[in-house]
Amino acid sequence: MYRFLLSRRWVGLHLLVLALIPAFFFLGKWQWGRFEENSARSTRITANLAAAPVPIDRLDRPGGAVPEKDGHRLVTATGRYDPAHELVVRRRTLHSRVGFYVVTPLVTPGGAVLVNRGWVPAGATADAPPRVPAPPAGEVTVTGRLRPAETRENSGIRVRAGLPPGQILLIDTPAVAGGLPYPVYGGFVELTDQRPPAGASPELLPPPDVGAGGGLNLAYAVQWWLFIGIAVGGWVLLVRREARDLREAGDAVPEDAPRVVITPSDRDTAR
């Protein structure tokens, strides 16, 4: 009854199902890994945002690098802004609007901290300098989220030459530090508050959206693994249906089929 399973068509179906099972398994495993990674990242960032601010020199130093575990920790720094070496970062969006980030060095006794003071809208053209409110004069204490230096690897942004003076594409702290006359901390600070407060100033950036902590990846993982059951269940269903159809075809006798009646004379003739 099940000899049909050895036919060319059915052997091809067997091979297809056997190929789909490991493919679905590893796709689910990959999404599960993404879920664990995003969930851990969400938990870490949420905890860092909720932690009390600490002086920046507890987590960073001039010429150093900010570990991933300290990203988005709230830090404080006290010093004076250096508007002469201020830079703007091109192609940055806020609420679906394209503009610039404003990065101003804050010179402290232990070194300079690059402070992302916020976002300003673009000028009349892409290369036109934007209108940037001046930083407050005198000594200020800033509070903000500590961020590691931006690179092509962690941002996906490619640096290109030929930008207008004072404009950059990445807050690449080591690269920026090469053009400054003082030592610079390895990370930069995304401003959330400063004392004394400034008057007109760039628009502060919102905290990062940690999302659902990888919940979508978890749903995808479960989905891929459910596909294994669907593939196997579908194969079983097709086998049973084919066997049933063959069995019914063998048992059925059409009403209009010709009937052969053998008489005694026919038997004698056959002898």
Any domain includes 258: no
Is there a single domain that holds both residue 166 and residue 235?
Answer: no
According to DSSP, residue 203 is labeled: B
Is there a single domain that holds both residue 117 and residue 176?
Answer: yes
Is there a single domain that holds both residue 14 and residue 91?
Answer: no
* Number of domains observed in the structure of the chain: 2
Is there a single domain that holds both residue 171 and residue 61?
Answer: yes
Supply the mean pLDDT for the chain.
87
Any domain includes 63: yes
Any domain includes 204: no
Any domain includes 200: no
Give the chain's radius of gyration (CA, Å).
Answer: 35
Q: What's the predicted TM-score (pTM) here?
A: 0.71
According to DSSP, residue 129 is labeled: P
The C-alpha atoms of residue 36 and residue 106 are separated, in whole angstroms, by: 37
57-84: pLDDT as tens digits: 999 999 999 988 999 999 999 999 999 9
Spell out, as residue ranges, where the chain has pLDDT lower than 50. Answer: 257, 270
Is there a single domain that holds both residue 170 and residue 57?
Answer: yes
Is there a single domain that holds both residue 14 and residue 125?
Answer: no
The C-alpha atoms of residue 22 and residue 80 are separated, in whole angstroms, by: 60
* Residue where the block lists tokens 């003082």: 182
Alpha helices (runs of H) in 120-214, residue ranges in sequence order? 152-155, 173-177
Query: In the structure encoding, which two tokens stand for residue 161, read together?
Result: 């030459």
The whole domain housing 20 covers 3-43+214-248
Any domain includes 270: no
172-189: pLDDT as tens digits: 999 999 999 999 999 999
Any domain includes 48: no
Any domain includes 190: yes
Any domain includes 230: yes
The C-alpha atoms of residue 89 and residue 168 are separated, in whole angstroms, by: 5
Query: In sequence order, what are the residues at sequence separation of 6 or more whose Cβ sits closer than 8 angstroms to the Cβ of residue 6?
Result: none
Is there a single domain that holds both residue 37 and residue 71?
Answer: no
Is there a single domain that holds both residue 92 and residue 178?
Answer: yes
